[in-house]
Amino acid sequence: MMTQTTLQRIQLWLDGPYDEKTKQTIRDLQATHPEALSDAFFKDLSFGTGGLRAKMGVGTNRLNLYTIRLATQGLANYLNKQPLEKRRVFIGYDVRSNSDAFALEAARVLAGNQIEALLTDDICPTPLVSFGCRHFQCQAAIMITASHNPPEYNGYKVYWQDGGQIVAPHDQGIIEEVRKIQNPSQVLIASENSPLIQRIDSSLDEAYLTELASHRLYEALPSINIIYTPLHGTGIRILPNALKTWGFSCALVDQQKTPDGQFPHAKTPNPEEPKALELGAQMLIEQQADLLLGTDPVADRVGAAVVHEGAPGFLTGNQIACLCLD
């Protein structure tokens, strides 16, 4: 049975300034799946230090255009209270359903609050978002992603001007501002054609790769055969070219190289789980390659394997860290 608070939230959406498709979805759920409707409205999404992460759909407990707007308005209010000479936010998004639409909606809210929004024009790995934030001297960044969660999820992460995820005191400041935004009337939205929204093209990749090349530690690098899988994610945009920058080439796992938010050949797209790397491990053995690399859908998590006694040997995060320090 739905609580009175849940019923009130539902009625507010049915009576409020929400689009008709959303309202019809609510009415359909009322008639056919009341339990699902209750779960979608029984609480408000909680904005934490990691931002938002939830299933997509209608409701206060789901990620949708309206909850994206509320979160972004809170962020905008916090930025506008800071003693900054300029206010600029970089926005990236992953391969999931609605990620591009959510990113554009965040840009519209920022522009509505007189904050410049730099919106990537294609899927973007998290490291490139962090780099873009610093490269364009932004005060914050937003990444629309649910990382390696199942396809029905999406998320909203906030980064500060150093390119890292928000920490004290900004984390609590942003959280407090987001909690103050309770209804659509508090949200300011600009047109998607606003001059404050700037599309960022692949020229950012060139700047990233140039910076990457400057961090080369060894003049002579061994020639090794690498197998790479982006697990249907954003890594395909940058990692093959990054390896090329360092003098390596790689063969791609064909079934997993195409960006696809449904992850058809990687049901659990976490490269730290051997199951996600099965197809790549098979190529590793068949081609007698030296190294298998896999990244999660936003390329900020990596898994690796090598051939050991004729079978794939999967490296743990600790083992990879030790090798990087060697």
- Annotated catalytic sites, by residue? 147
Residues 94 and 125: their CA atoms lie apart, in Å, by: 7
Residues 223 and 251: their CA atoms lie apart, in Å, by: 14
Handedness of CA 182, 188, 193, 195 (dihedral sign): negative
Q: Which residue has the tokens 């009130």?
A: 8
Of 130, 143, 133, the residue nearest 99 (C-alpha): 143
Structure tokens at 17: 């300034």
Q: At what angle do helices 126-135 and 203-213 cross, to 10 degrees?
A: 90
Structure tokens at 257: 């190289």
> How many other CB atoms are there within 10 angstroms of residue 101's CB atom?
14
Contact 72, 197 (CB under 8 A): no
Of 174, 168, 141, 173, the residue nearest 157 (C-alpha): 141
Residues 57 and 297: their CA atoms lie apart, in Å, by: 21
> How many other CB atoms are there within 10 angstroms of residue 167's CB atom?
11
* Coil/strand/helix, residue 156: strand
* Coil/strand/helix, residue 182: coil
Contact 103, 97 (CB under 8 A): no
Residues 221 and 96: their CA atoms lie apart, in Å, by: 36
Contact 50, 40 (CB under 8 A): no
